């Protein structure tokens, strides 16, 4: 209460502005996280599959999914829009080099996720792109046991 019997009020405008900015920020971030998870049915019942899961921050992933005209490729969350095989290989190698450049040689490992419906003739471009990049090793995504 003020001296003259008036009421004190609290200005809510800055708080509302901050809340809306935070909401927009989280909506944008949530969309980026969602974009990294392309649905892929990797092979299961693989007897020699490794049960270790690497830290998410160190995983560089190349994904090959079945598309209408053949395979669709992505490096991380970035889809590759290319026409010919040479262009696909070049773009995969370039994107991988950008992601792996700050890592030491022993950590330059790429995980390849290929949908089990994709034929090798389509997936070979991803393998060629990984071979042309600065990656030192490759892991194939598979499930050790049967799917739940």
For residue 63, the domain's CATH number is: 3.30.420
> Using one digit for the tens of pLDDT, what is the confidence trace for 85-129?
889 899 889 988 888 888 888 888 888 888 878 888 888 888 899
Examine residue 100 and state whether it is found in any structural domain, yes or no: yes
Q: What share of the chain is helix, strand, coil (3-state, %, to 5)?
A: 40, 15, 45
Number of neighbouring beta carbons within 10 Å of residue 31: 10
In a domain, 121, yes or no: yes
pTM assigned to the model: 0.63
Domain that holds residue 74: 56-140
For residue 29, is it within any domain?
no
Q: Is 134 helix (H, G, I), strand (E, B) or coil?
A: coil
Q: How many structural domains comprise the chain?
A: 1
Bigger pLDDT: 43 vs 27: 27
Beta bridge partners of 61: 111
């Amino acid at each position: 209460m003020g001296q003259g019997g008036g009421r004190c009020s609290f200005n809510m405008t800055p708080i509302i502005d901050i809340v809306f900015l935070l909401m927009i920020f989280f909506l944008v971030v949530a969309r980026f996280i969602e974009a990294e998870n392309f649905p892929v049915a990797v092979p299961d019942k693989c007897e020699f599959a490794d049960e270790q899961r690497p830290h998410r921050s160190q995983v560089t992933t190349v994904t090959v999914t079945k598309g209408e005209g053949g395979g669709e490729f992505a490096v991380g969350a970035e889809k590759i829009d290319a026409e010919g095989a040479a262009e696909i290989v070049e773009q995969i190698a370039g994107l991988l080099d950008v992601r792996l450049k700050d890592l030491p040689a022993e950590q330059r490992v790429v995980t390849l996720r290929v949908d089990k419906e994709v034929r090798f003739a389509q997936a070979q471009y991803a393998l060629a792109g990984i071979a042309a990049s600065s990656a030192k090793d490759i892991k194939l995504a598979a499930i050790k046991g049967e799917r739940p």
